Amino acid sequence: MNVIIVGCGRVGMTLAEKLNDDGNAVTVIDMLPSKVNEITSQIDVMGVVGNGATHTTLIDAGIKDADLFIAVTNSDELNLLCCMVAKKEGDCQTIARLKNPQYSNEAEYLRHELGLAMVINPEYAAAKEIARVLRFPSAIKIEPFAKGHVELIKFRLPKGSPIIGMSVKDMIVKYRANVLVCTIERGEEAHIANGDFVFAEKDVVSIVASVKNAHDFFVNINYKGHSVKNVLVAGGGVITHYLCEILQKSGIALKIVEKDEKLCETLAADYPKLDIIHGKPSDKELLLEEGVEKVGAFVALSNLDEENILLSLFAREVNNGKIVTKINRTDYDSVIRRLDLDTVITPKNVTADSILRYVRATRNAKGSNIETLYNIIEGKVEATEFIIKEDSPIVNIPLSQLKFQDNVLVASIFRDGKVIIPRGNDVILAGDSVIVVTKTVGLSDIADVLR
């Protein structure tokens, strides 16, 4: 597919990289030549310097042949204008990024009226993800599949966990767990689990299960299953704003520390019930005063990655609860993974995944449609949810007789409101939604997992 991306910021760059890895022909547009040079020397894409909302720049970038147009500049208004001009100029799908809460409340209206294929909001998506883990703090990450009936849950094995030293097979038998262990991350390595894999301390494990089974499973292996009661948030930016909006009726008490007085005022006006503290989040005394030692969860959402990491590590030291850290940069992933952090949220990746899913789905695979796509381990392991159509080659054949490639796991089948954790005798039928976990990234059809 020919894709044009306007805006070479963090989101734009991640998108360009992922879409290019996925085999699309990508052109990027930015006003700053230095940005364009940087991106074109790192990624195999074409760069055009100019204003993405002007006709001439779009022609230069080849809008006539484009299939998809994505505007992810820092300005919402510019993004909308870009999409409108692009729509007039070429026959393409358009995606705009909107981050201002005032617009995103009207996202549906804008989408419809301006003919956008999709409106993305990295900050809102990140806030939603944070809210999910706050409700179920034992998990590092929760990704809903099959319209929320199935969850992919990632958690870390702490010291003293009862399943350390057990093999996957034994664990399933002992706890009669109706879950499927997908992947295990150990240091830099990522494994697709088989029955003989033995758990070790500090492993990060991903499982797929229905919501209820997952809950039972965690209770069985001595994890807390209930939601956190109170949260301390460092930083009052856009994500915090959305987080307040999502959590306002959940009974989770939020306390926000923000150094900018204006932001404090806005938050206080919009959410009068919350505790808004005007002060530096990096001030240790202030944090202690506001009870960082006692809260159920600490969420670091300031604009600086370094500050977020530092605050999280401090909170970890004084508090045993849930810690969420927002990190924008992914280049130092390997270092960050070695730190004793809990949940790490990267807004740009959340967005990139949802656009990738859209791109792969519109590439129009024959036998199946991509419904959800999720990177379990960035760039290494993906979970993809397919809706199976009737003419798919895998329909009605027992799984044990299908010739899968190595490192492929059929993680769950969702049929008529029931979650099936598949075993060898199960078959996939038309209309099922099937989650497949693979080490090959970039699937666009379920038949791709066969040999």
Partner 1 sequence: MNFSAIRRVIGWILLFEAIFLLLPLLTAAVYWEEEFFVFLFCIALCASVGGLFLSKKLKNDAIYAKEGIVITTLCWIVLSLFGALPLYLSGADAYTSYVDALFEIVSGFTTTGATIVPTGAEVAALPKSILMWRSFSHWVGGMGVLVFMIAFLPLSGARNMYIMKAESPGPTVSKLVPKVRTTAKILYVIYAGMTAIQIILLLCGGMSFFESVNAAFATAGTGGFAIKADGFAGYSSYLQIVVTVFMLLFSINFNSYYMFGKRRWKEVLTAEVKAFLLIVFAAITAITLNVYYTNTLTSFGGALKHSAFSVSSIISTTGFVTEDFALWPMFSQILLLLIMFVGACAGSTGGGIKVSRLVVLGKSASNEIGKMLHPKQIKHVTVDGRVVEPDVVRSICAFVFLYVIVFIVSFLIISFDLNNLNYAGVENTKFMTGFSSVAATLNNIGPGLGAVGPAGSFAAYSWWSKLVFIFDMLAGRLEIFPMLLLFAPSTWRR
List of residues contacting partner 1 (CB under 8 A): 2, 20, 25-27, 33, 40-46
Closer residue to partner 1 (CB): 16 or 120: 16
- Least gap, CB of 25 to partner 1 (angstroms): 4
Closer residue to partner 1 (CB): 24 or 227: 24
- Least gap, CB of 90 to partner 1 (angstroms): 14
Closer residue to partner 1 (CB): 58 or 205: 58
- Least gap, CB of 7 to partner 1 (angstroms): 16
- Least gap, CB of 389 to partner 1 (angstroms): 31
* Alpha helices (runs of H) in 54-190, residue ranges in sequence order: 55-60, 76-89, 101-104, 107-113, 122-135, 168-175
Do 350 and 125 form a contact (C-beta atoms < 8 A)?
Answer: yes
Closer residue to partner 1 (CB): 41 or 334: 41
Closer residue to partner 1 (CB): 43 or 430: 43
- Least gap, CB of 14 to partner 1 (angstroms): 15
β-bridge pairing 408-415 and 433-438: antiparallel
Closer residue to partner 1 (CB): 28 or 446: 28
- Least gap, CB of 357 to partner 1 (angstroms): 21
Closer residue to partner 1 (CB): 65 or 201: 65
- Least gap, CB of 406 to partner 1 (angstroms): 21
DSSP state of 199: P
Closer residue to partner 1 (CB): 31 or 114: 31
β-bridge pairing 368-377 and 381-388: antiparallel
Provide the 10 A C-beta neighbour count for residue 74. Answer: 13
- Least gap, CB of 210 to partner 1 (angstroms): 40
- Least gap, CB of 33 to partner 1 (angstroms): 6
Buried b (16+ CB within 10 A) or exposed e, 198-232: ebeeebbbbbbbbeebbbbbbebbebeeebbeebb
**How far, in whole angstroms, is CA 361 from its chain's centroid?**
17
Q: Compute CA distances 62 → 39, 91, 412, whole Å.
A: 18, 11, 42
**Which backbone phi and psi does 206 adopt, to 5 degrees?**
-115, 135
CA angle 42, 37, 356 (to 5 degrees): 50
Burial grade of 66 (CB within 10 A; 0-12, 13-18, 19 or more)? buried
Do 87 and 99 form a contact (C-beta atoms < 8 A)?
Answer: no
**Which backbone phi and psi does 350 adopt, to 5 degrees?**
-60, -45
State the DSSP string of 216-239: HHHHHTT---SPPSEEEEE--SHH
Closer residue to partner 1 (CB): 46 or 198: 46
d(CA 352, CA 336): 20
Closer residue to partner 1 (CB): 5 or 126: 5
Burial grade of 396 (CB within 10 A; 0-12, 13-18, 19 or more)? exposed
- Least gap, CB of 73 to partner 1 (angstroms): 19
